[in-house]
Amino acid sequence: MRCENPSSGGSMPAHDRPELSLVICTLNEADSIGPVLREVEAVLRGVRHEILVVDDSPDEATANAVRAFAALCPAVRLVRRSGPRGLASAAIAGWDEAKGEVLAIMDGDGQHEAGLLPAMLDMLADEATDIVIASRYLRKGPSGLTGLRDVGSRLATLATFVTLGVYSSDPLSGFFVMRRSWYERARNRLSGVGFKILVDLLASGRRRPTLSEVRTALRPRIGGESKLDARVVVELLALLVEKRTNGLIPTRFCLFAMIGASGLGVHLAILSLALAAFELPFWAAQAAATLCAMTTNFVLNNALTFRDRRLTGRNALRGLLTFWICCSGGALVSEIVGSSLDGLGLGWLLAGTAGAVSAALVNYAAAGRATWRGQSLAGSARETSAVLRSVPITPAE
């Protein structure tokens, strides 16, 4: 299959720029990306377009499949990222590289119906429309999700409406097209954390976007695995908090605070055990509780808050040691506050809680600067896109 597309790569006159830039974010989808690209190319014949595949896979299998296709279809570009990972930041990285006046996104596992793209482009021709969404819930019918996944998706849709006042029948959709002008309005306020980039876009403009929707249902997956797990749900809740507070409480801080709350439970449990069972003096019991809470917080933050910069193997051990060191200031604050309040006779529960909360504030300030090096804790999408590495593709002769 050889594709001809005048909008591929390089600098070009304005009249030759692509009408549509489609971003496909991939993670271990070597088996499906080829068929998906073939389907998209067949659907978009006659439309000036480019396809940017943003690949976060740990190996080269998916990238090699894209390179093989791009050798025949110069409209396809590959972006291999090093550093931060995650669907939202991958989408932003792709759109930042895109040249088209219309920006779009779809999955690389074959679940999205590429044949809807021409109709979605026609709907976007209405100048009043900012975003066209392929919705699984526009009308009655199967969504393509089953069981708890379908129930959870519907509940999350309701939560998005209640929290943000943004009405869409499917604000969690991963398949939509939008005007570049809307993306540019929302760009600087995007969180770039997690997997639900559409929610981020819907709530990041100075006004609410004008939406249109087309009915769809997810198809069976060709390859790859579902990315939906409990962490995606928690990240969505944190994103809703950020958008509801107009950015006052960033998504990463919200995640950090949620984990800190669980760490508070660990802290109080260890403190109670050390005081009651081992009869340690308060300062020693408080120190043991703080160390245990710091360790559990590191594990959970590594898996959730900083999942896009997750540390593994020896790096995880070094990260834990660095986390302990960075949080030593918080531990000292915890000791001072807790012991002072205990000395005033306020009781171990209040003293321990106040000490732990004080430590959490200090820990948050230090964590992203040393343990998980890179972007600010707010997870600036503009900064995450700066680490991408574009891989030029030379079409085969």
How many alpha carbons fall within 13 Å on the CB side of residue 288?
16
Examine residue 124 and state whether it is found in any structural domain, yes or no. yes
SS3 (DSSP) at 80: strand
386 pLDDT band, cuts 50/70/90, is very low
- pLDDT at site 141: 79
Same domain as 310, residue 185: no
Residue 251 near residue 239 (C-beta atoms within 8 A): yes
- Of 232, 247, 262, the domain-final residue: 247
pLDDT of residue 384: 31
| pLDDT higher at 164 or 29 | 29
Pick the range with the lowest mean pLDDT from 47-51, 56-60, 106-110, 229-233.
229-233
Q: Please give the pLDDT value at position 228.
A: 57
For the cut 80, the answer to whether the pLDDT of residue 328 exceeds it is: no
Confirm whether 365 is domain-assigned.
Answer: yes
- 388 falls within a domain: no
Q: 242 and 262 share a domain?
A: no
Contact 29, 62 (CB under 8 A): yes
C-alpha separations of 263 from 290, 295, 371 in Å:
9, 9, 18
pLDDT of residue 94: 95
* Segment 166-203, tens digit of pLDDT: 889 999 899 999 999 999 999 999 988 777 899 999 98
User: Is there a single domain that holds both residue 63 and residue 171?
Assistant: yes
- Rounded to 5 degrees, φ, ψ at 249 are -115, 100
In the predicted model, is pLDDT for residue 50 greater than 90? yes
Specify the amino acid at residue 64: N
**What pLDDT is attached to residue 121?**
96
The answer as to whether 4 is a domain residue is: no
Assess whether 216 and 268 both reside in one domain.
no
Residue 166 shares a structural domain with residue 294? no
Pair 128, 93: CB distance under 8 Å: no
Give the CATH number, domain containing residue 105. Answer: 3.90.550.10
DSSP 16: G
* Statement to judge: residues 240 and 256 lie in one domain: no
- Among the ranges given (64-78, 266-280, 302-316), the one the predictor scored with the smallest mean pLDDT: 302-316
Contact (CB, 8 A) for 63 and 80: yes
pLDDT value at residue 174: 93
**Residue 284 in domain:** yes
Local confidence band at 224 (pLDDT 50, 70, 90 cut-offs): low
Residue that terminates a domain, selected from 190, 219, 247? 247
For residue 276, pLDDT over 70 is answered with yes
pLDDT at 33: 95
Alpha helices in 44-169 (DSSP H): 61-70, 87-97, 117-124, 147-164
pLDDT at 290: 82
Distance CA 370, CA 219 (A): 43
So what's the pLDDT on residue 234?
79
When pLDDT is averaged across residues 21-35 and rounded to a whole number, the result is 95
Looking at the domain assignment, is residue 162 inside a domain? yes
Give pLDDT tens digits for 80-111: 987 656 889 899 999 999 999 999 999 999 99
Residues 92 and 20 in one domain: yes
Among the ranges 221-235, 360-374, 378-392, which has the highest mean pLDDT value?
A: 221-235
In terms of pLDDT, which residue wins out, 195 or 317?
317
For the chain, what is the domain count? 2
Please indicate whether residue 40 or residue 380 has the higher confidence score (pLDDT). 40
pLDDT of residue 314: 84
Q: Pick from 247, 269, 300: which residue ends a domain?
A: 247
Please report which confidence band the pLDDT of residue 274 belongs to, taking 50, 70 and 90 as the band edges.
confident
**What does the pLDDT read at residue 96?**
95
The pLDDT value recorded for residue 366 is 67
213 and 354 in a single domain? The answer is no
Which pLDDT value is given to residue 83?
Answer: 61
In a domain, 2, yes or no: no
Of 10 and 359, which is predicted with more confidence?
Answer: 359
Question: For residue 157, what pLDDT is reported?
Answer: 85
SS3 226: coil
pLDDT range class, residue 389, cuts 50, 70, 90 = very low
Asked whether residue 55 is domain-assigned, the answer is yes
Residue range(s) defining the domain that contains residue 62: 14-247
Which DSSP state fits 135? E
Is the pLDDT at 40 greater than 70? The verdict is yes
Tokens 């797990």 locate to 229
> Radius of gyration (Cα) for the chain, nearest Å?
24
- 204, 190 Cβ separation under 8 angstroms: yes
- pTM (global) more than 0.85: no
Nearest CA to 204 out of 157, 253, 171 is that of 171
pLDDT at residue 309 greater than cutoff 80: no
Q: Are residues 61 and 106 in the same domain?
A: yes
Do 237 and 282 belong to one domain? no
Same-domain status, 55 and 188: yes
Q: Give percent of the chain above pLDDT 90.
A: 35
Q: Are residues 256 and 160 in the same domain?
A: no
